[in-house]
Amino acid sequence: MRDLRPIFEPKSIAIIGASREPGKIGHVIVRNFIDGGFPGQLYPVNPNAKEINGLKCYKSVLDIPGKVDSAVVVVPAKIVPKVLEECGKKGIKGIVVISGGFAEVGDYELEKKLADISREYGLQVIGPNCLGVVNPSTKVDSIFLPTHKMGRPKMGGVAFLTQSGAVGSTILDLVAREGFGMSKFISYGNATVVDETDLLEYLGKDKKTKIIVLYLEGVKRGKEFFRVTRKLAKKKPIVVIKAGTTENGAAAAKSHTGSLAGSYAAYRAVFRQNRLVEAKELDDVFDFAKIFDTQPPCTGNRVAIITNGGGMGVLTADAVIKNGLELAEFSEKTKKRIRETMPPTVNARNPFDIVGDADAARFEEAIGLAYGDPNVDALIIITLFQTVSLDSRVVDVVVKAAEDGQKPVITIALGGEYTEMQRRALESSGVPSYDCPNAAARSLAKLVEYSRFVKGKA
């Protein structure tokens, strides 16, 4: 396994191609390390500057005194081989090459030169043609997009691995907004040296990573990818979205990161055989990641639906069935308690419609009854915040129930700004919230399917 610690856990970093001009990528990267609170040494490298952002600037990495663990390279493509040789001579082992202009534009010879130099000096290189990497726990942030335009997530259990920087930046921004965290973000571009299989192996050993999300255009080493994912999927969920599933998409992938997308049927077969959780859309990636990150394993498929709106309960019941789950049949004890504690307008059946005047206290009673029923494996709670009686207090009720951690508890909330505020509060407290029934049911079904695989029940 490659030693990628110099990239993700460095004590000193050189930014080669650092710039004094605020509009330049080399300036943004230096600024992000400073603003993000990187605790180690930062060494801007630019032969035409003496100081950048208050830091002493060096003409070459060879001029930097002492040891340098890692480098971020943002120079023109034709200069990259020379820079890598200097890094090799300096003893720098972990390198992120942001620069583009290699195989993705047809310059395979230049990319081969990069690979040869890396092999000669034993360099671990991510890129070229990539967005960069983020490790929230060590304050490493080599992404060249400014923080005021793209948020950075808090620490969490999801690692996001992507060939596409554009896709990755979108997901990263959404994750930061929704409030759940990431362990690592890695944009690896052309994968000239360190490829997706190397990174999967690294994340498999990473104790901070609970779930791996993979955006994939092509695979460099098919047999190794199959072997690694087969072993890793038994330990950690791997959510994967495959781009280039059509002929035109495959051609676009080749011009994007120089990847050969290959036969989608072959990829799909590997995903199914190795039990990777395949996402068809970007929304699925986000939806699946948050349920795997926050909810306990669940091998049962009997779902209780609690709602303060009958129509949404019916739509959710349809979604539950369509996604291969079942509606739970409440026990006689639960039905008796429902009749004793709920208004006469509430029926003791599933979906459990506690009607439109339900407040937080009624939700609390209903959730307690459904959660405690042995016939219920998971709960979907629908909160229509547009009703007069329901307010933010129900968020605390739902979060408290979910904290027990014995059964999955997920929510559906659809609406405008007020509803979005409550959804974010739920998300930031570790309760997945979805804006439509099918997304919730589909995500829960994926959790059940994977849990059965891990427990040997499927």
Place of tokens 């396994």: 1
* All residues at 6 or more sequence positions from 365 whose CB lies less than 8 Å from its CB, including other chains: 341, 342
How much is the pLDDT for 166? 84
pLDDT at 55 exceeding the cut of 70: yes
Q: Which CATH superfamily is domain 297-454 in?
A: Succinyl-CoA synthetase domains (3.40.50.261)
Which of 69-73, 260-264, 306-310, 397-401 has the least mean pLDDT?
260-264
How much is the pLDDT for 258? 53
| pLDDT tens digits for range 217-238 | 889 999 999 999 999 999 999 9
* All residues at 6 or more sequence positions from 142 whose CB lies less than 8 Å from its CB, including other chains: 29, 32, 33, 72, 96, 98, 132, 133, 134
State both tokens at 358.
């339900």
Instruction: Measure the CA–CA gap between 85 and 348, rounded to whole angstroms.
Output: 73
Instruction: Measure the CA–CA gap between 216 and 129, rounded to whole angstroms.
Output: 15
Strands 132-135 and 182-187: antiparallel
Place of tokens 């459990």: 352
How much is the pLDDT for 362? 97
Stretch 164-176: mean pLDDT, rounded? 83
Instruction: Measure the CA–CA gap between 27 and 146, rounded to whole angstroms.
Output: 10
What fold characterizes domain 1-129? Rossmann fold (3.40.50)
User: For the chain, where do the domains classified as CATH 3.40.50.261 start and end?
Assistant: 150-294, 297-454
Instruction: Measure the CA–CA gap between 375 and 331, rounded to whole angstroms.
Output: 7
Stretch 425-437: mean pLDDT, rounded? 93
> Smallest Cα–Cα separation from 157: which of 236, 274, 39?
236
Residues 262/265/266/270 CA torsion (nearest 10 deg) = 130
State both tokens at 348.
């003791």
Strands 94-97 and 140-141: unpaired
Q: What is the pTM of this model?
A: 0.89
Read off φ and ψ for residue 128, nearest 5 degrees. -75, -170
Cβ(416)–Cβ(450) under 8 Å?
no
Instruction: Measure the CA–CA gap between 191 and 257, rounded to whole angstroms.
Output: 8
For 255, the enclosing helix (H) or strand (E) is helix 247-257
What single string gives the DSSP state of each residue in 172-223?
Answer: HHHHHHHT--EEEEEE-TT-SSS-HHHHHHHHHH-TT-SEEEEEES--S-HH
How much is the pLDDT for 62? 97
pLDDT at 252 exceeding the cut of 60: no
Stretch 406-411: mean pLDDT, rounded? 98
> Smallest Cα–Cα separation from 307: which of 118, 194, 440, 143?
440
Stretch 5-17: mean pLDDT, rounded? 97
Helical H segments across 258-298, by residue range:
264-274, 282-294
Cβ(121)–Cβ(87) under 8 Å?
yes
Strands 12-16 and 211-216: unpaired
State both tokens at 403.
């904290």
Amino acid at 139: K
How much is the pLDDT for 154? 85
What's the pLDDT band for 185 if we cut at 50, 70, 90? Answer: very high
Instruction: Measure the CA–CA gap between 16 and 60, rounded to whole angstroms.
Output: 8
> Smallest Cα–Cα separation from 41: which of 55, 53, 28?
55
Amino acid at 445: A
Stretch 93-100: mean pLDDT, rounded? 96
| pLDDT tens digits for range 318-358 | 999 999 999 999 999 999 999 999 999 999 999 999 999 99
Cα angle 92, 157, 383 (rounded to 5 degrees) comes to 150
State both tokens at 89.
């001579």
Which of 162-166, 379-383, 412-416 has the least mean pLDDT?
162-166
Instruction: Measure the CA–CA gap between 448 and 305, rounded to whole angstroms.
Output: 16
What's the pLDDT band for 263 if we cut at 50, 70, 90? Answer: confident
> Smallest Cα–Cα separation from 311: which of 233, 224, 412, 408?
412
How many other C-beta atoms can be found within 10 angstroms of the C-beta atom of residue 138?
16
Of all residues in the chain, what percent carry a pLDDT higher than 90?
A: 83
State both tokens at 12.
């000193």
| pLDDT tens digits for range 115-148 | 999 999 999 999 999 999 999 999 999 998 888 7
DSSP 3-state of 443: helix
How much is the pLDDT for 369? 98
User: For the chain, where do the domains classified as CATH 3.40.50.720 start and end?
Assistant: 1-129
What is the chain's alpha carbon radius of gyration, rounded to the nearest angstrom?
A: 25
What's the pLDDT band for 256 if we cut at 50, 70, 90? Answer: very low
Instruction: Measure the CA–CA gap between 68 and 376, rounded to whole angstroms.
Output: 56
Instruction: Measure the CA–CA gap between 420 and 424, rounded to whole angstroms.
Output: 6
What's the pLDDT band for 428 if we cut at 50, 70, 90? Answer: confident
pLDDT at 396 exceeding the cut of 60: yes
What's the mean per-residue pLDDT of the chain?
A: 93
The CATH number of the structural domain formed by 150-294 is 3.40.50.261
